[in-house]
Structure 1
Amino acid sequence: MVAKISLGNSLYGSLVYNGEKINKEHGRVLDTNKIYNDGSGKINIHRVFEDFQRWMPQSTKAEKTMMHISLNPHPDDRLSESQYIQLAHEYMEKMGFGDMPYLVVKHEDIDRHHIHIVALRVRPDGSAIDSKNNYYRSKEITRELEKKYGLHTAERQKITPDMPLTKIDPAGDIKRQVANTVKMVGMRYKFQTIGEYNAILSLYNIRCEEADGRVNGREYHGLVYFATDDNGKTIASPIKASRLGKFAGREAISQRYERAKEKIDVKPTKRMVSEIMAQSSGKDDFIAGLKENNIDLVLRYTEDGRIYGATYIDHNTKTVLNGSRLGKDFSANALDRWFKNPTEKPVVPIHQPQPDNSNNRTTGDSSQQNGQNQGQHQGQQQSQSQYGNAPQTHSQGNDFDNAPTLPGLDLFQVGPGYDPEEEAFIRAMRRRKKKKRRGPSL
């Protein structure tokens, strides 16, 4: 049995949360302690709130006056309502809350039924029940109760790098699924914007939105997560990042953006997408080819059907890349034109690997052979330097492996980035070459 404990100062908020479950017929009041209970299983939030208030001291130094607990038996344990009540009272007694007012509500919104307990933690004299070592005390108590009543041992699921990622199951514990997925995505994938973050989350039916505002004169900047269906429609109440954990908060995600900038290498993904695009006849063929090579393409559309966003998720390199990061030929605009008109297909140059002739070399005096190779290489450098171009090598992993050849002017090569001066020089050489063909002006 897993117990989750949270301290807070919003008693009314906790009552409303449980009241909504009951009103939607996803829960019922099982029992209360020192709080009015009419036995119907329903809750009158205002009446219960007033009962709690009567036990609240006039003054207290405690900032967090209430405690919200959820007791979650193993899914294989099917307990009756009387057994839930007995567990709740024994747990609260051992935790030191036997004389405190509290409310026990059973939640039935997911297949794994569980109970929530809302309790005051401040006594009438203003003193608060000690919350130190709550986690360890609670764990000892739950283990004791499991042995006493023959229950299965239930541990919180530990997140490991090799755990599979799956879509949200509406019948399961949505909050836990969202938390686990968000944590695993953050552990594995590299992304640099909220759009790229949402692209990878959307594969598992999760959406994240930024929440900015001002409360009581203080600004706040947070994140809110939504569980969705396959069409992107929200299927559950929004979950604030603070309810999932620090790993899901805005600060943690922003730090992942910064770390990703230093680690992301677009070349492997760009090379693979280029090859698939060259072999594809249209949208369906392109997307299928990407999937076969473990790359997902997430497209975002306007209301009139125009593509305004394209994100490539490379599961091989665990990298999420907006189309424009790969180049304009891979952007949303380029894909929209191509998918609507096959003649608008981007022409992406594909690197042709150079043949390896190392096995054809004859053996001999190694120093003499090396000297000849070095002389030839220096000669190439001198020849190419006359035209302002750096020598090219074909060693494995060279940054210029993807360099396309300019049509009609094979002498010049474009490096991995755009160099305005180099481009201007190339255009000048083209104009000079055309003048030579026309002959001298008279």
Structure 2
Amino acid sequence: MIGKVKTGKSFAGCIRYNLEREEATILYAEGIRTDSIQHIINDFNMQRKMNPELGQAVGHIVLSWSVQDKEKLSPEAMTDHAKEYLQKMKIADTQFLVVQHHDREHPHIHIVYNRVNNEAKTISDHYQRKRNAEVCKQLTLKHGYHMAKGKAQVNRHRLTGADRIKYQLYDAIKETSVQAKTWKELENLLKRQGIELHYKYKGGTAEVQGISFSKDGLKLKGSEIDRSLSYGKLNQQIEQNHQKEKSRQQNPQTFEQVEVENTTEPLLEKLLNASGYEEAVDFHFLKRKKTKHTISQGRSL
């Protein structure tokens, strides 16, 4: 079990990111209505106004498990783990929403919570990432889930110098490579994080033989960072992303979709940090298909 923790400004952006997709199921909600996306946004924003000085009022967590644990993870089990995780993270007495996504092979859920609690006090995010790593390890061992090996279990906060940069490269490339549908898109996504991409060509030709990445003066081959980040492996991932997008365009769905147009950073980052206490997010950078949708708790959108 692995957790990723973020904070942001926009409930509207975060909620729409999590729910405006085919592969989303609401597993549990505390202190909010779930009959429509707008009601969810309004309820979160109503409580945040009790503490208007807190700009970063949105808490967003992703909990992921190994594919090997898939058979053990019913919706009820994931809901229980979400509640246990929040309790151990000292995130209590506040509104929260648990959503399961089905767009990856491995089981994972998203938790959106209000950092303004029911008493109008701020839920601290100090040392949250360190606590997250500890809690995930505790729950993994307690419930007998698969313990990931390798880089996923390295404590990033203890790293310094070249090792720290190497793992920053690893995390950034892993995250962006599952989104990019072309090499140029990957290059733009990485550039936003201060990472440059360098190709190695076969002598006297335009044929790419390998790839390197650099940040803060350190340059490493993709395969030196991790074997999964070689040119061949990344090219295969990008081609899969391209084919998936092509297939999606050829088979449009009947639900409301949000598509990034010429984006140079992950969608969640944009939506989490949209400005204001908006009741409806400003999607000036998005293209939307106008179709009617409804939400039911425990049902896929």
TM-score by length of 1: 0.39
Does the aligned pair in 2 maintain the 1:107–1:115 contact within 8 Å?
yes
SS in 2 for 1:89: helix
- Which residue in the other structure is 1:421 paired with? none
SS in 1 for 2:3: strand
RMSD over aligned CA atoms reads: 4.2
- Which residue in the other structure is 1:119 paired with? 113
Q: Specify which of 120, 141, 145 is matched with residue 151 of structure 1.
A: 145
Q: Equivalences for 1:234-245 in 2 at 5 Å?
A: 237-238=259-260, 240-243=263-266
The CA deviation at 1:157 is 8.3
TM-score by length of 2: 0.55
Q: Equivalences for 1:422-441 in 2 at 5 Å?
A: none
5+ unaligned residues in a row in structure 2: which ranges?
Answer: 155-164, 168-173, 181-185, 202-207, 212-230, 250-257, 270-301
Q: Distance in 1 between matches of 2:200 and 2:137?
A: 39
The CA deviation at 1:147 is 1.1
The CA deviation at 1:205 is 6.6
The CA deviation at 1:57 is 3.1
Q: Distance in 1 between matches of 2:105 and 2:79?
A: 19
The CA deviation at 1:150 is 0.5
SS in 2 for 1:77: helix
Q: Distance in 2 between matches of 1:138 and 1:114?
A: 16
- Which residue in the other structure is 1:189 paired with? 199
Q: Distance in 1 between matches of 2:58 and 2:12?
A: 10
Q: Equivalences for 1:155-304 in 2 at 5 Å?
A: 156=152, 175=176, 177-178=178-179, 186=196, 189=199, 203-204=235-236, 206=238, 227-229=241-243, 237-238=259-260, 240-243=263-266
- Which residue in the other structure is 2:18 paired with? 18
The CA deviation at 1:231 is 10
Q: Distance in 1 between matches of 2:52 and 2:9?
A: 12
Higher relative contact order (CA 8 A, sep 6+): 2
Q: Distance in 1 between matches of 2:26 and 2:132?
A: 23
Q: Distance in 2 between matches of 1:81 and 1:48?
A: 21
5+ unaligned residues in a row in structure 1: which ranges?
Answer: 38-42, 162-172, 192-196, 208-225, 247-442
Which residue type is aligned with residue 140 of structure 2? E
Q: Distance in 2 between matches of 1:240 and 1:94?
A: 36
- Which residue in the other structure is 1:72 paired with? 64
Q: Distance in 2 between matches of 1:11 and 1:76?
A: 33
Q: Distance in 2 between matches of 1:147 and 1:205?
A: 31
The structure with the largest alpha-carbon Rg is: 1
Q: Equivalences for 1:337-348 in 2 at 5 Å?
A: none
SS in 1 for 2:54: coil
Q: Distance in 2 between matches of 1:99 and 1:75?
A: 32
Does the aligned pair in 1 maintain the 2:3–2:132 contact within 8 Å?
yes
The CA deviation at 1:146 is 0.7
- What number of residue pairs does the alignment pair up? 202
Does the aligned pair in 2 maintain the 1:57–1:125 contact within 8 Å?
no
Does the aligned pair in 2 maintain the 1:52–1:120 contact within 8 Å?
yes
Are 1:27 and 2:24 an aligned pair? yes
